[in-house]
Amino acid sequence: MKLTLRQLQIFSAIVKTGSTSAAAAYLSLSQSAVSAALSELEHSIGNPLFDRAGRKLQLNDKGRGLLPMVLNLLDNANRLEEACVGQAHSVLRIGASLTIGNYTLPKLLRHYFETLGLQLGDETPPLQITVASTGDVTQQVAGFEVDIGLVEGSCHAAEITVNRWLPDELLIVAAPGHPVVRAFGDQPAPVSRLSNSNWLLREKGSGTREILELLLLPQLGKLNSTIEFNDHEAIKNAAAAGLGIACLSRWVVQDMLDSGRLVVIRSQLAPIERNFSILVHDRKTITPGMQQFLSFLQQEHLQQQ
């Protein structure tokens, strides 16, 4: 075999970082070693894999065609290495978007471990969990950096299978002393009053912001927002402090609803609902450990129906 895993690893790092110098820093190698490995790889293949524009390297059509196979091969090689050093049991890597990773997944994992008959706190299977935005988790699934992605936003990436999962109810909430709550109490607040209120929103590009704009803007006409956050917990605490109205997953606000720090604002708006999704790369090798966990997730979906 002319190709080596090292060459393919360096090829993947160059794609990830955009240049040989950045790839060298990422892999803790010299730039000359990275450039030499790329030259050897392209010579073995008989074609360049990048278009050169100064120091910037951009994948050409040949490189784009090889990349999915290279990532899949490196992923399997990593699993083989783990098995050879005595870690033959499944080590799942899960990417979860913020609502799921911070609020939903811990409770689901507790249930999952209990179904396996494990003693919580003493016995847990090895897991690697990354909590990031929906977009970042999608990229991690596409790059074989995680085995399974659990996201709250939409995903339209090529070569990724998207399965609808748990339903998620979004609630409009505010502090008990908010002007809308004081004015209308348990009565539905008019749409015009909500459209003129200050909303506490996630940053543009987040899964929650996307669904709010999709579902609320046609009904409200506008979403006034003077404060934006990149974290659900910050929005929840800001709403409890009386800074505005928030629309968040029930998973996020249930604790403050129970304690009375937040209340649900009834309105004339249609119910705001979405579905969490499970992402798996089409080329991903489904191991027994992955299949066991995926089956558990789908069973949880059925129990929510």
Residues 294/165, Cβ–Cβ less than 8 Å: no
Kind plus residue range of the DSSP H or E element containing 301: helix 288-303
Closest to 66 (Cα-Cα) out of 137, 141, 139, 14: 14
Q: Report residue 26 as tokens.
A: 């990422």
The counts of H helices and E strands in the chain are: 13, 11
Give, in order, the Cα–Cα distances in Å from 88 to each of 80, 84, 119, 176, 209. Answer: 8, 7, 22, 53, 41
Residues 232/202, Cβ–Cβ less than 8 Å: yes
DSSP designation for 101:
I
User: Is residue 89 scored above 60 in pLDDT?
Assistant: no
Interval 232-278: pLDDT, tens: 899 999 999 999 999 999 999 999 999 999 999 999 888 888 899 99
Name the one residue in this structure whose structure tokens are 């089956």: 295
Q: Say which residue, 125 or 70, is predicted with more confidence.
A: 70
Instruction: Output the pTM of the full model.
Output: 0.70
Strand partners, 247: 172
Q: How long, in residues, is the chain?
A: 305
What are the residue ranges of helices labelled H in 221-277? 232-240, 250-259
Interval 96-145: pLDDT, tens: 998 999 999 999 999 988 888 877 777 677 789 999 988 899 999 999 99
Residues 6 or more apart whose CB falls under 8 angstroms from that of 21 comprise 31, 34, 55
Interval 158-212: pLDDT, tens: 899 999 999 999 999 999 999 999 999 889 999 889 988 999 998 876 767 877 8
Looking at residue 189, what is its pLDDT? 92
Residues 155/138, Cβ–Cβ less than 8 Å: yes
Q: Which long-range contacts (CB under 8 A, 24 or more apart) does 179-188 make?
A: 180/245, 180/265, 181/263, 181/265, 184/265, 184/266, 186/266, 187/266, 188/266, 188/267, 188/268
In the three-class reduction of DSSP (H, G, I as helix; E, B as strand; rest coil), residue 34 is classed as helix
Neighbours of 269 (CB within 10 A): 17
Percent of the chain with pLDDT over 90: 39
Identify the structural domains of the chain with CATH numbers, from first to last: 5-84 (1.10.10.10), 91-305 (3.40.190.290)
Looking at residue 82, what is its pLDDT? 65
How far is it, in rounded angstroms, from Cα 56 to Cα 50? 9
The alpha carbon torsion through 281, 165, 286, 60 (nearest 10 deg) reads: 0
State the average pLDDT for the chain. Answer: 87
Give, in order, the Cα–Cα distances in Å from 211 to each of 44, 134, 203, 218. Answer: 48, 12, 12, 12
